[in-house]
Amino acid sequence: MLLYFLDMFGTAVFAISGVLLAGKLRMDPFGVVVLAMVTAIGGGTIRDMALGATPVFWITSPEYLWMILATCALSLLLIRRPRRLPWYFLPVADAIGLAVFVAIGVDKALSYGASPMVAVIMGIITGCGGGIIRDVLAREIPMILRTEVYATACLAGGMIHTLALAANVDSVAASIAGMVTTLSIRLAAIRWHLSLPTFAIK
């Protein structure tokens, strides 16, 4: 039940990031909803299609769509209020949602008989896929292709998750270990502005 609520929380946070980018680009309400939708459920959709999990999760669980629509409506109403959220609120909330999405992606891939390596990749796709689609639609370089530590945190969390399962750790404990790893690395990157070295040709 806790994982379900965290999943809904992550869905809302990812939707907000889509709304904020749509506002930055001065999109109409339809564009706002589109960016929110693809950000929140795009990664899980790609994962389910790759795994052959039909229908995809939000078709059988429409509460995800309602959560996104409600988030869009509240964001459009509140985002212009003069009071501002602390700068760290959205990055930290995004990190929590990212950690949960990666764990869910790994678990779902393994439940469909995927190998640990594929499960880690599915975890990364679940966490980052929506953001990639959002940034492509907005004609921006996706975050995971920049120097910021984002996909690396997903990779580490997914590996810890699968390694714990391989060591016969309880599935719940393995999921928590993976989520804590992803969240810790992502929060450290936010706090100390950690980044990966860049590749440049002079």
In the predicted model, residues of the chain with pLDDT beneath 50 are: 82
Decide if 67 contacts 11 (C-beta within 8 A). Answer: yes
Look at residue 24 in the predicted model and tell me its pLDDT.
Answer: 87
**Exposure class string for 157-181: b at 16+ Cβ within 10 A, else e:** bbbbbbebbeeeeeeeebbbbbbeb
Look at residue 145 in the predicted model and tell me its pLDDT.
Answer: 82
- For every residue of 170-194, DSSP letters joined together read -HHHHHHHHHHHHHHHHHHHHHHT-
**Axis-axis angle for helices 116-137, 29-51 (nearest 10):** 160
Look at residue 198 in the predicted model and tell me its pLDDT.
Answer: 77
Look at residue 110 in the predicted model and tell me its pLDDT.
Answer: 97
Look at residue 142 in the predicted model and tell me its pLDDT.
Answer: 87
Could you tell me which of 194, 195, 188, 186 has the C-alpha nearest to residue 146?
195
Look at residue 77 in the predicted model and tell me its pLDDT.
Answer: 85
Q: What is the pTM of this model?
A: 0.94
What are 139-174's pLDDT values in tens digits?
988 888 877 899 999 999 999 999 999 999 999 999
Look at residue 90 in the predicted model and tell me its pLDDT.
Answer: 84
Structural tokens at position 7 = 């999943």
Cα–Cα distance measured from residue 133 to residue 131, given in angstroms and rounded to the nearest whole number: 5
